[in-house]
Structure 1
Amino acid sequence: MIAFDCHAHVYERLEPVPGARYVPDAPAPLETWLQMQTDHGLRGGVIVQVSFLGTDNSQLLQALSRLAPSRFAGIACIGLDATEAEVRDLAEAGVRGVRWNLVSGAALPDVADPQVRRFLSLLQAHDMHVEVQLESPRWEAYLPSLAPSPVPVVIDHMGLPASADPRSEPWLNALEACTDRDPFFVKLSAPYRGVPDARAHLDRLTWLLPEDRFVWGSDWPHTRFEDVASYPGDLGELADRLDDRDAARVLYGLSTPG
């Protein structure tokens, strides 16, 4: 059973930061997302800060202020120099994690660096986690360094797989070689951003990690892939294979009625 949409972007206004890699043509209203959840039998979800808004989380927080915290949560983007007060305020507003968008050659935070250790300690103190978007070939070297993380590490978009054969997938090989997989969760979202057919990758993933380490996300409104993606995507197939409720509770504090 898939109960939650744990990866969607909601923004009422297009206010890109300078140098944004991509700016969509239209807003992604909260009410539209909520209606799609209702149409597909979902109980709630997670709003992820969209990259073109940078670290201005104001629209994310506005949306969360209208939603029930037992069914909805947020993932923000903030700098490694964030203060304790900033992290506390985000947590109190319903933010349950921070996104590191590390694609396209972005620098990889070093868990051994004092500033990064301080940052992760702040997240830990406020029951938050880190969500990482990174291409599979770069995950291969980076994933082992995150195993000592004091907070959960959510691997975004299924690790952005690069190989049609999961046995040759760099990040899956790194995960299998990792002796401590306890911090890792995987977000099953946006298959169109990786290989065309990731079902065999999921087979290998569910052999490497227990069921309570997976959540599903629609990636709505499918920025840059609006013409090839649809809201339900592979929801029906995954709903027959996985139950996301334990992972959604651990990561986001979400629960279903009854």
Structure 2
Amino acid sequence: MVHFDCHAHVYEKITAIPGARYVPKSPAPLKVWKNNLSEHELSGGVIVQVSFLGTDNSELCSALSKLDKTRFAGVGVVDLDVDDAELDRLVAAGIKGIRWNLVRGKAVPDATVPAVQSFFQKLRQRGLHLEVHLEGSRLAPHLASLTDQGINLVIDHYGLPSDPSPEADPFIKAVKALPARNNLYIKFSAHYRTGFSVAPHASALLGILDDNRVVWGSDWPHTQHEETTCYAETRDAAFLASALSDITAAKALYGIAPV
């Protein structure tokens, strides 16, 4: 049974950074998301920093200040050279991970360079995980190095598969090839961001990992897809999630537990 929505975006106002790739027309209020959780009998969830706000996590932190931190957490976005004081402020606000949003050609940081190693060290010191949003075909060559940094690694949106066949999909092949998978987690979220059914990929991932490494997320308010899906549809399309128990993964990643 799924107890949490581990991937949603909440913002009461829209103040986009320059060059934002997409700016929604309407806010995504905390009250509406909480109503969605209640209607679908979910105990809590995780608010992820939305891309058009960049590294300004103030909306995220404001939402977290109104929530029970035993059932809710956040994932923020920061620069690689973020200072200790800022990270500590985010941790105090309820941030449990940092997201790299690298889709559409953004460069993947080189895990071997000193600046990135310093960033990883800051995450290790605070028990923060790294969440990666990146097309699976581009992620695959980096997966082994990212899972070798002594931190939990969370992959968004089924790994954004690129091949309709799980057996041929570069991301799933890379997961299979990992020498160890004890710190790898997958979000079953945003199936509509892939142009084919990801149900076979969900099944394949559960065959490689176990459900203690999987969480579900609605991806509400479904930015760029607001007109084609809704919360109920994403909940119904949570492939195989009805058979999952997310309690262990949610506790390990976010420190939250159901009521």
Q: TM-score, normalised by structure 2?
A: 0.96
Residues 228-237 or 114-123, more deviating? 228-237
- The more displaced of 174-183 and 16-25 is 174-183
Partner Cα distance (2:155, 2:70) in 1: 23
What is the deviation of 1:136? 1.3
1:18 aligns with 2:34: no
The worse-fitting range, judged by mean Cα deviation, of 87-96 and 176-185 is 176-185
Offset from partner CA, 1:67-96 (integer Å, 9 cap, x none): 000010000000000111111111111000
The one-letter code of the counterpart of 1:250 is A
Q: Corresponding residue for 2:33? A: 33
1:161-189 deviation per Cα after TM superposition (whole angstroms, max 9, x unaligned): 11111111110011111112222100000
Match of 2:168 in 1: 168
Shift of the alpha carbon at 1:234? 4.8
Name the residue aligned to 2:48.
48
- Please name the residue that 1:242 is paired with: 244
In the other structure, the counterpart of 2:150 is 150
Q: Secondary structure at the match of 1:7?
A: strand
Q: How many Å apart are 1:195 and its aligned residue?
A: 3.6
Matches within 5 A, 1:176-191: 176-191=176-191
In structure 1, C-alpha distance between the alignment counterparts of 2:195 and 2:182, rounded to whole Å: 26
Aligned partner of residue 227 in structure 2, secondary structure? coil
Q: Which residue of 2 aligns with 1:87?
A: 87
SS at match of 1:175: helix
Describe the superposition over 1:139-172 as per-residue Cα deviations: whole angstroms up to 9, x where unpaired. 1211122121211010011111111111111100
Unpaired runs of at least 5, structure 2: none
C-alpha contact (below 8 Å) 2:203/2:240 kept by paired residues: no
Gaps spanning 5+ residues in structure 1: where? none
AA aligned to 1:242 is L
Distance 1:130 1:209 in 2: 18
Structure 2 Cα separation of the partners of residues 160 and 239 of structure 1: 17
CA contact (8 A) 2:190 2:234 kept: no
Tell me the secondary structure at the aligned position of residue 117 of structure 1. helix
TM-score by length of 1: 0.97
Q: Distance in 1 between matches of 2:242 and 2:15?
A: 39
In 1, the alpha carbon distance for the partners of 2:22 and 2:158 equals 21
Is the partner of 1:5 in helix, strand or coil?
A: strand
Distance in 1 between the 2:230 and 2:164 partners? 22
Superposition CA RMSD, Å:
1.1
CA distance in 2, matches of 1:15, 1:147: 34
Q: What's 1:58 paired with?
A: 58
> 2:254 — aligned with what?
252
Any conservation in 2 of the 1:161–1:195 contact (CA below 8 Å)?
A: no
Cα distance in 2, alignment partners of residues 48 and 195 from structure 1: 23
Q: Distance between the aligned counterparts of 1:29 and 1:234, measured in 2?
A: 18
Deviation at 1:210, TM superposition (A): 1.6
Q: SS in structure 2 opposite 1:204?
A: helix
In 1: Cα distance, 2:161 partner to 2:252 partner: 25
Give secondary structure in 1 for the equivalent of 2:108. Answer: coil
